[in-house]
Structure 1
Amino acid sequence: VTGNKNDSADARAIWMATQMPSREVAVKTEAQQAILALHRMRQQLVKFRTMQINSLRGLLTEYGEVMGTGRPALDRAIAGVLERLSGRLPTILIDTLREQWNGLNTLDQQIAQIEHRLQVWMKEDEAARAIAAIPGVGLLTATAAVATMGHAKSFRSGREFSAWLGLVPGQTGSGGKIELLGISKRGDTYLRTLLIHGARSVIFHAKESGAWIEQLQKRRPLNVVVVALANKMARTIWAILAHQKPYEKGYVSVRPIQKVSVLR
């Protein structure tokens, strides 16, 4: 609704939206919704753990105790920091800071428990096990992809699935002149992030990244290569689930030959 908002404008906007061409989204099963709920709860716990770590570092910095970023640096330094500050600061503050630090272990256990439950579900789900064989697709990406996609046949192609995730360039232009922009980021933020992290892991840690990636790295910046690989991973996920075939490392997609009839 543009302009002032009222009942008449809302009704007009709803009517216009119903006239626009659209495609229905596949309905997810209750099991898929349950897996997504686990992912959301895990994501919230990870976010809260990061907030807790940053809060502890920030509070201790106010008393001149500067620690490195990251959980390992905090665990290495905080015990000595609290011991040094115990003679200067009130006991109630030191005890509270120690409780907040120990609470991180509780969050670690909750996150590990959710990941264990996801692991159990993936062992029982054939689709999740199939796409987990793709390099860069781990436990989180495999379970999230199967649960988020709903049904692979709801997308006409792997390209449409990757576009739905926002892994394709946006575009602008008129008069036949089209300009490509950065990735659109219009799809599922969580799954897109997992795919990009998985692609970055393949590029940095894989022993053999492949000739396609090596050639692309010579011509494009690193982040462009990462997104391109994430796009390829998304299209591979769709192909495996849509055609129900196992992952093959050296598989090359070949367009089928169409027969052309000649009229005489």
Structure 2
Amino acid sequence: VKRQKNDMADAEAIAEAVTRPTMRFVAPKAPQEQSAMMLHKVRLMLNRQLVMLTNAIRAHMAEFGIAAPVGRIGVDRLLKVIEDGTDERLPAAARQCLQMLVAQLSLVKQQILENDRQVLGLARSTELGRRLMEVPGIGPLVASALIACIPDPSVFRCGRNMAAWMGLVPRQNSSGGKERLGSITKAGNRYLRQMLFTGAMAVIRRAMQSTRRTWLVRLLERRKPKVAAIALANKNARIAWAMMMRGDRYREPMAIAA
């Protein structure tokens, strides 16, 4: 890192970076891949708006002593109270303001459904996306995000490198020949890491109810579910890299004998 930024210093830094064999460069994305990622970013924004509107309705209703259980059922009860003009617990002015929030909430829900349809169609439109969706824990969201975020998987030397880029490997603080491994690094693409973790948690919920002695069930006997979810997310990332590189289909692992 040198002082001052100008064209000459930038050109010198670029020339020096090109000569380094271990330097990593960002692969360019096609307009279609950028558009696919925009679908995911818009979906995140819509989900944040959905949570904001739901919390606002709950908070305003609580000011009048009207509360509801946590979850979708509780929100539906509040919406029925807002729609019921004969309920005297809400003043007319407050009901009018809440109806504005309800209209926005309905619009956001419709937009999220439309966005999910587009993401599902995008994942099913490619042969790679259909193969990736065969992996337990990788659904349409993760498959389309992987294709959009990683247009060229060959930039990673192996599947572990791609998992490390997503921040799904332990942070190292090793020295003097002694290994010290901590929590995950949380480096790289945060969205992919979140989606892989969410998919892994869904698989773990099913695995805890299963009687098959898979490696995941044996891992859950020794580790907490969230730790096992990180391990499964790491494994799915490596599987996805192998499938993207070799063009293979997913093969279900054999159950371990008890």
What is the TM-score when the length of structure 2 is the normalising length? Answer: 0.86
Three-state SS of the structure 2 residue aligned to 1:201 is helix
Q: Secondary structure at the match of 2:58?
A: helix
Q: Distance in 2 between matches of 1:248 and 1:16?
A: 46
Name 1:254's counterpart in structure 2.
none
Question: CA offset at residue 135 of structure 1?
Answer: 0.7
Partners in 1 of 2:172 and 2:203 — Cα distance? Answer: 28
Alpha-carbon distance in structure 2 between the residues aligned to 1:218 and 1:250: 19
**Corresponding position of 1:71:** 72
Classify 1:80/1:242 alpha carbon distance in 2 versus 1 (closer, same or farther; 3 Å).
same
Pair 70,209 (structure 1): closer, same or farther in 2 beyond 3 Å: farther
Instruction: Confirm or deny that 1:225 pairs with 2:228.
Output: yes
Distance, in Å, in 1 between the alignment partners of 2:124 and 2:118 is 10
Matches within 5 A, 1:20-39: 21-39=22-40
Deviation at 1:100, TM superposition (A): 1.0
> 1:154 Cα shift?
1.5
Deviation at 1:210, TM superposition (A): 5.1
Paired with 1:30 and 1:217, the residues of 2 have a C-alpha distance of 42
* CA pair 155-75 structure 1, distance change in 2 beyond 3 A: same
Could you say which residue in structure 1 is the equivalent of 2:247? 244
Corresponding residue number in structure 1 for 2:189: 188
Distance in structure 1 (CA, Å) of the matches to 2:235 and 2:3: 46
What's the CA shift for 1:71? 2.8
1:182 CA drift (Å):
0.2
Matched, 1:200 2:201: yes
d(CA) in 2 for partners of 1:29 and 1:63?
Answer: 52
Query: CA separation in 2, counterparts of 1:106 and 1:241?
Result: 37
Q: Does the CA contact (< 8 Å) of 2:46 and 2:108 recur in 1?
A: yes
Q: How many equivalent residue pairs? A: 246
Amino acid at match of 1:117: Q
**Using the alignment, how far apart are the partners of 2:77 and 2:92 within structure 1?**
22
RMSD: 2.6
Residues 221, 156 of structure 1: alpha-carbon distance in 2 compared, 3 angstrom cutoff: same
**Structure 2: distance between partners of 1:49 and 1:110:** 10
Q: Provide the secondary structure at the position in 2 that maps to 1:45.
A: helix
Deviates more, 1:69-78 or 1:50-59: 69-78
1:245 is aligned with what amino acid? Answer: D
Offset at residue 151 of structure 1 (A): 1.2
**C-alpha displacement of 1:110:** 0.6
Deviations for 1:41-84, whole angstroms, at most 9, x for unmatched residues?
A: 11100110011101111121122222222233111233236648
**Closer/same/farther in 2, CA of residues 181 and 26 from structure 1, 3 Å limit:** same
* Uncovered stretches (5+) of structure 1, i.e. residues with no partner: 2-6, 252-264
